[in-house]
Amino acid sequence: MSRRRNERALVRPHVVTGGRAHPSRNVFDLVTLVISAGDLPRTGLSPEKLRIVELCRGGALSVAEIAGHLSLPVGVTKVLLSDLVDSGHLTTRAPAPAARPSRTRLLQEVLDGLRASL
């Protein structure tokens, strides 16, 4: 489904979400991390939801990244993600834990750099 930029999507977003634009829970922003929550049966999931579950199997992904992978608008992705969280396929995680180790390392690098330039 790697389509050219000017090719219209065959399946329009209203079919993807069943006409819904409001996510069932308001917990997502662009950088919310989503991870897979165990192996629940995937029967009855729409192709897009299956893809999301498949994508998240490898680790945490941000909402923006999932939307990019699926070539879907972020608003539509949020509706799908909240459905999947409701059904227990996914859980959300605030982005903070991922940022902490890298911040320490960055600070260490800045310190080293400053020392070297002095």
Partner 1 sequence: MEQTLLAAALAVVAAAGVAAAVLLARQRRLTAELRDQNAVLAAGVELRDKELRHLAAVRLPELMDSLHNPGMRVAGPLHDLTRKAPAYGQSLQTVMDLFAGSADQVRARADQSAKATLRAMMRAVQSLANEQQLAISTMQDRHDDPEVLDGLLRIDHMNAQLGRRAQATAVLCGSWPGQQRSASSMTDVVRGATSRIRDYLRINLEGPVNTAITSRAVEPVVLTLAELLDNAARHSRPDTAVEVNFRTAHNGVAITIDDAGVAMDAEELQRATELLSGEASADVHRLGDPPRVGFAVAGVLAARYGFTVSVDSRSPYGGVRAVVFVPSALLADVPDDPRARPAASGAGAERARSAAAPDAPSTEHGLPKRSRVAVADRTPEPDEPDTADAPAPAAWAEPARPARETAAGLGAWQRGTRSGRAGTPPAGTPVPPPGVEGKDLRP
- For 34, the 3-state DSSP assignment is strand
Nearer residue to partner 1 within complex by CB, 41 or 116: 116
Residue 2's Cβ-count burial label (10 Å; 0-12, 13-18, 19+) is exposed
57 makes contact with partner 1 (CB under 8 A)? yes
Among 56, 81, 84, 85, binds partner 1 (CB under 8 A): 56
Binding letters toward partner 1, positions 64-83, x by CB under 8 A: xx-xxxx--xxxx-x-----
**With CB under 8 A, what is the number of residues at the site for partner 1?**
61
Among 61, 81, 84, 90, binds partner 1 (CB under 8 A): 61
- For 22, the 3-state DSSP assignment is coil
Q: How far apart are alpha carbons 26 and 41 in whole angstroms?
A: 25
Nearer residue to partner 1 within complex by CB, 88 or 93: 93
Q: Which of 53, 65, 63 is nearest to 90 (CA)?
A: 53
Nearer residue to partner 1 within complex by CB, 40 or 65: 65
Site for partner 1 in 4-23 (CB under 8 A): 6-15, 17-19, 21-23
Contacting residues for 33 by C-beta, under 8 A, at least 6 apart: 60, 61, 62, 92, 93, 94, 95, 98
Among 41, 49, 54, 84, binds partner 1 (CB under 8 A): 54
